[in-house]
Amino acid sequence: GSDSEGLDGEAGCGNEDGGELHVSALRKKGPATTSALFRDAALTRGGAVPGWNAYNDALDKNPLTAKACTSAVGFFLGDLLAQLFIVKSTLDIKRLVTLSVFGFIYHGPSGHYFYNWLDSKIEGTDGKSVATKVFIDQVFWCPIFMTVFFTYLGLANGDSFGAIGNKIKSDLFTAMQGSWKIWPVVHAVNFKFISTKHRLVFINGVQIVFNMFLSLLGSK
């Protein structure tokens, strides 16, 4: 997931009067200050999404906290939906809280630092740069993330390190296969069009669905 980072992004497409030239120039440089998929409030007819300006202010002033809260909400909604519509049993509050805390203390903060680092090392949104970032994310970052995820859940459940190790051996590759079916395409869009600071909110929007898969896998 998986999936989230701190500075800039691309502007939306426009006409030849300047929009198109602006975008192509930005694509050579990499992320700028806005994202093509997240419209500028000043340009959004009828006003921006409620709270969007406040959220952007939080991303600028307290990015780590804002992204931690973003991931907490993403994991909360992912597990809540999994329990309500897939498991369809009595709501497991402990599991819901455990996964939300994971989003807050690990997914958000680690995503903040990882994507900031990745964007600083590989700039630009050309095909090669995007493909390289997707490769690094899925081949190197994904197994680290999944290992931490299973370790955290095991410790939260009071499992022994032996049991946690067995869980990782049995489910890590399954989790990565699930990731590879979704995230390469998602991250291709992410690294091509989304600003660094908006990566985690975009990732969490998609990850609500993926978190349903993770929460079910983690609770087996």
pTM for the whole structure? 0.74
Q: Give 190's Cβ-side CA count (13 Å radius).
A: 31
Q: What is the pLDDT of residue 37?
A: 54
Q: What is the pLDDT of residue 50?
A: 80
Overall average pLDDT of the 148-173 stretch: 95
Higher pLDDT, 46 or 58: 58
Band of the pLDDT at 208, cuts 50, 70, 90? confident
Asked whether residue 93 carries a pLDDT value surpassing 50, the answer given is yes
CA distances in angstroms from 99 to 91, 110, 154, 212, listed in the order given:
13, 15, 12, 11
Residue 28 tokens read as 């050579």
| CA 180-182-187 angle, 5° bins | 90
Asked whether residue 63 carries a pLDDT value surpassing 70, the answer given is yes
Q: What is the pLDDT of residue 138?
A: 96
* Mean pLDDT, the chain, whole residue set: 82
Distant-in-sequence, close-in-space partners of 216: CB < 8 Å, separation ≥ 6 = 82, 86, 87
Percent of the chain, pLDDT > 90? 60
Q: CA-to-CA distance for 217 and 173, rounded, in angstroms?
A: 12
CA distances in angstroms from 163 to 166, 169, 170, 191, 214, listed in the order given:
5, 10, 11, 37, 18
Name beta bridge partners: 33: 9
Overall average pLDDT of the 164-168 stretch: 96
Asked whether residue 59 carries a pLDDT value surpassing 60, the answer given is yes
Q: How many CB atoms lie within 10 A of CB 117?
A: 12
Asked whether residue 58 carries a pLDDT value surpassing 70, the answer given is yes
Asked whether residue 203 carries a pLDDT value surpassing 80, the answer given is yes
Q: Which of 84-93, 108-117, 178-187, 196-205 has the highest mean pLDDT?
A: 108-117
Encode pLDDT of 4-47 as tens digits. Answer: 443 343 333 344 444 444 444 444 444 444 555 555 555 554 45
